[in-house]
Amino acid sequence: MNFSDAPIDSASAARLHAEGLRLDLVDTADTAAFSAWIRAESRGFYDDEPSEKRLAYMLEHAAYRRTTGVWDESDAVGAEPVATVSTWETPLSLPGGSSIPVWAISAVTVAPTHRRRGIARNLLESELRTAHACGVPIAALTASEATIYGRFGFAPSAFASDVTIDTRRARWAGPAASGRVRFTTREELHHSARAVFESARRRHAGEIEADDALWAETCATDERSADKVKSLRAVRYDDASGALQGFAIYRVTGGEDDFTVHTVEVQSLVAATDDAANGLWRFLLELDLVTAVKAYLRPVDDSVAWQLSDRRAVQSRPYDHLWLRVLDPVAALEARTYSAPIDLVLDVADPNGFAEGRMLLSVDESGAGTVTRLDADADVPADAAHLALSVNSLAALYLGATPASTLVRAGTVLERRPGSAERADAAFRAAEAPLLSIWF
C-alpha cells in the first residue's frame, strides 16, 4: 500500500459523515471531478480562477498525487469540494547525503463557508494515519501560517532567508568563477537543467525532489499565470569544460522615476557547485542600472555574505520554511548520519502515539546511528545522554537546524542528565544549515 492506492481513512470519514460531510479521494482521470477540485484549491488560496491551460497542465502533471476532497452532502452532485488536500511520497535529503521518504502534504484548504468546524483537523489526522499505515516515517509540508501545524506534531525543521543586497555598497570579493554565464530560456532550462537541480538538492539536507509540477514551477514554465512570467529572464552557468552547473531566473523591476535605479528579483538561483554559485551571484550583483538584488529561499548560512566588500550590504530575513512531523522515530533517526558519536536516550511524547516512547540512539565513530526501543521505565545506560522532548521538538532537532541546547533554554526540551544537550548538539549538527529552496 502506498500514497496512490491507500484507501480513505475510515475514522476521519466517519467523523465528517456525522457532520453531513463526505471525505473521499478524487479520481484524477475524471477531468470534471479533478477540475472541480483544482478550482476549489485555487479559491482556497485566493488564486485566480484557473485557466483552461492551467487545468490541462494540472491534469497532466499533478494527477499522480493522492488527491482528497471533502464535499458537503447537501450540495448538488458534481459540486466543488469544500476542502482539499494533496499528498505524495518524495525523498527528503538528510545530513550526510542520504535521504528518507516523506509524505508531502500540500493544498490544504477549507472553504470560508466551512471553516473552524474541524475539517482541516480531520484531513490532517487522516493523512498522518495513512502515511503511518503506508510505512512512511515522516510527513512534510510548507505552511501558509506558523500557527496551524504545531498542534499536529509538526515543527520547523529547516529555515530559509530572503535577502536584499544593496549593490551600490557591495563589490564582489569572492573567487572568480572558472566558467561563463550565458542567456537561455526557461523552456531550455526546463529541458536540460533538472539534473543540476537534482545534484543541488542532494547537497542540502531539507530539500525534496521536484516532481514534474514542482520542476515546472521552479523554471516558471508551469502555466500558473502567463502574465507573471513575461518579465522573467533566464541565465545558465557553464563550467570551464562547458558543462551546465547552475542557472538563475530573475526579473528586473523599477526604474520608473530614475532609470539607474532598478531592482533584480531572483526567482531561482540553483547551483550544483560553489563555482556555479559564484559565477551566477557575481553576474546578478554586477548588472548595470541596478541598485538592489533580492533573492528568496536562500540558505540562512549563505556564503554570499562573505563574498562582498561590505557585508552590511546584505539584509536577511530568516523564516521557518520546511515543517516535519516524525511518524517513525526509529526509521527517521537511523536514516541520517551524525557528526559525533553519542549514546542518547530520548523520551518522546506524542499525543497521537506514533512516535511516543523511550529509545536509545547509538552513534558510532563513523557517524552511523542505530536506534533501540526501550521500555518506558527501562534503565538509562550510565554513560548515555538523556533528553525528554515532544515529537515537535524531535522534528526541530532532526536536520540539525536548531540545537538541542537552544530548545533546553527555551524550556521545550528537558535535560534529564546535565551536559546531554551539548552532546546532542555535537551529534546532530550539520555542516551546512538545512534548506528547502522551493514551496510545495
Ligand X SMILES: CC(=O)SCCNC(=O)CCNC(=O)[C@H](O)C(C)(C)COP(=O)(O)OP(=O)(O)OC[C@H]1O[C@@H](n2cnc3c(N)ncnc32)[C@H](O)[C@@H]1OP(=O)(O)O
Active site residues: 149, 440
Tell me: does residue 177 bind ligand X (CB under 6 A): no
What is the total residue count of the chain? 440
CA-closest candidate to residue 251, choices 271, 237, 267, 235: 267
Site for ligand X in 25-84 (CB under 6 A): 44-45
- Residue ranges of the annotated binding site are 108-110, 116-121, 144-145
Instruction: Name which position in 38, 62, 94, 110 contacts ligand X (CB under 6 A).
Output: 110
d(CA 25, CA 17): 14
Q: Which region among 103-111, 205-213, 292-300, 308-316 touches ligand X (by CB under 6 A)? A: 103-111
Which CB sits closer to ligand X, 75 or 364? 75
Using the rule CB under 6 A, give the single segment among 74-82, 114-122, 167-175, 225-233 that binds ligand X.
114-122
> Any bridge partners for residue 208, and if so which?
92
Nearest approach in angstroms of CB 114 to ligand X is 7
210 contributes a contact to ligand X by CB under 6 A: no
Smallest distance, Å, CB 139 to ligand X?
Answer: 10
Give the interface segment with ligand X, choosing from 117-125, 172-180, 232-240, 402-410 (CB under 6 A): 117-125
Q: Which stretch binds ligand X (CB under 6 A): 30-38, 73-81, 104-112, 129-137?
A: 104-112
Q: Between residues 291 and 412, which has the closer beta carbon with respect to ligand X? A: 412
- The Cβ-side half-sphere exposure at 327, using a 13 Å CA radius, reads 21
Q: Report, in Å, the least distance between residue 224 CB and ligand X.
A: 16
| Residues whose CB falls within 8 Å of the CB of residue 333, separated by 6 or more in sequence, listed in order | 359, 361, 369, 371, 398
CA-CA-CA-CA torsion for 112, 116, 117, 123, nearest 10 degrees?
90
Q: State which residue, 106 or 161, has the beta carbon closest to ligand X.
A: 106
Chosen residue from 6, 55, 63, 148 binding ligand X by CB under 6 A: 148
Cα distance between residue 14 and residue 391, in whole Å: 27
Burial class (CB in 10 A: 0-12, 13-18, 19+), 78: exposed
150 or 254: CB nearest ligand X: 150
Q: Which of 220, 227, 207 is nearest to 247 (CA)?
A: 220
DSSP assigned state of 147: T
Among 118, 174, 255, 341, binds ligand X (CB under 6 A): 118
Query: Rounded to the nearest whole angstrom, what is the least distance from the CB of residue 294 to ligand X in the complex?
Result: 24
Number of chain residues interacting with ligand X (CB under 6 A): 22
The one among 8, 22, 63, 117 contacting ligand X by CB under 6 A:
117
Cell of 17: 459523515
Q: Which of 124, 64, 123 is nearest to 89 (CA)?
A: 64
Residue 322 to residue 241: CA distance in whole angstroms: 35
Among 120, 272, 333, 399, binds ligand X (CB under 6 A): 120
Tell me the Cα Rg of the chain: 23
How many whole angstroms separate alpha carbon 398 and alpha carbon 297? 20
Could you say whether residue 151 binds ligand X (CB under 6 A)? yes
Tell me which amino acid residue 119 is: I
DSSP conformation letters of 323-360: EEEES-HHHHHHHS--SS-EEEEEEEE-TTSTT-EEEE
Strand 262-271 to 290-298 pairing: parallel
| Residue 144 binds ligand X (CB under 6 A) | yes
Give the H/E segment covering residue 405: helix 404-410
**CB 159 within 8 Å of CB 401:** yes
Which CB atom, from 109 or from 278, has the smaller least distance to ligand X? 109
Give the helix/strand (H/E) hosting 385. strand 385-390
Q: Is 146 in the site for ligand X (CB under 6 A)?
A: no
Q: How far is the CB of 122 from ligand X (least distance, A)?
A: 7
CB of 266 to ligand X, least distance (A): 24
- Please report how close the Cβ of residue 197 comes to ligand X at its closest, in angstroms: 22
* Crossing angle of helices 31-44 and 52-61, rounded to 10°: 110
- Of the pair 43, 282, the CB lying nearest ligand X is at 43
Q: Work out which of 105, 134, 264, 389 binds ligand X, going by CB under 6 A.
A: 105
Known binding residues for acetyl-CoA: 108-110, 116-121, 144-145
**Contact residues for ligand X (CB under 6 A)?**
44-45, 105-110, 115-121, 141, 143-145, 147-148, 151
